[in-house]
Amino acid sequence: MAHDEKCPLCNSDGGRLLVASDWWRIVLAGDADHPAFTRVVWNAHVAEMSDLDELRRRELFDVVVRVESVQRAALAPDKINLASLGNQVPHLHWHVIPRWRDDRHFPDAVWGVARGGENARATARSAAVRARLDAYVGALQRAFDVTAPPAVEGR
């Protein structure tokens, strides 16, 4: 499997590991403003979707859409954001981010400028999402037939 010893996604899970497979993994990004911000990371060190053959690419994107579906069912967000950027870490990974009209960055991308330093509604929103995080993680793991959290969080 392609591996780059200097790549952070080759040397760590890149977040709290929720679901692991031979080809990809699902991690929680640990973003304070967006607690359910989830990433689907391809395990091998490749840069682009078009570097995968059709079968693997479909498998990965199907996983992304399943995460989206679980977020919609478990969290009822106003919108889902999907993105594969990789400018900082050119190792294929998808951001799957549930968004709310009152979150810290809406309607901008989460990579844009946050709205104000003190924003009571955004703080309340992130707290509300955090309160449902265990339920979301449980629903996600059930959707992928993971009956218990992975025993090993490190990599």
Q: How far apart are CA 36 and CA 132, in angstroms?
A: 9
Angle (CA) 118 121 124, round 5°? 100
Burial of 38-48, coded b for 16+ CB within 10 Å and e otherwise, reads bbbbbbbbbee
Site residues for a second copy, window 1-40 (CB under 8 A)? none
Encoded one letter per residue, x for contact with a second copy by CB under 8 A and - for no contact, window 33-72 reads --------------xxxx------xx--x---x--xx--x
Stretch that binds a second copy, among 11-19, 24-32, 37-45, 75-83 (CB under 8 A): 75-83
Binder among 23, 46, 56, 90 for a second copy (CB under 8 A): 90
The CA-to-CA distance between both ends of the chain, in Å, stands at: 15
| Contact map string, positions 115 to 154, toward a second copy, x by CB under 8 A | ----------------------------------------
d(CA 21, CA 32): 26
Number of residues that bind a second copy (CB under 8 A): 30
Residue whose entry in the numeric block shows the structure tokens 């967006």? 34
Structure tokens at 19: 């679901």
Indicate the residue among 17 and 67 with the shorter CB distance to a second copy.
Answer: 67
Q: Site residues (CB under 8 A) for a second copy?
A: 47-50, 57-58, 61, 65, 68-69, 72, 79-88, 90, 99, 106-109, 111-113
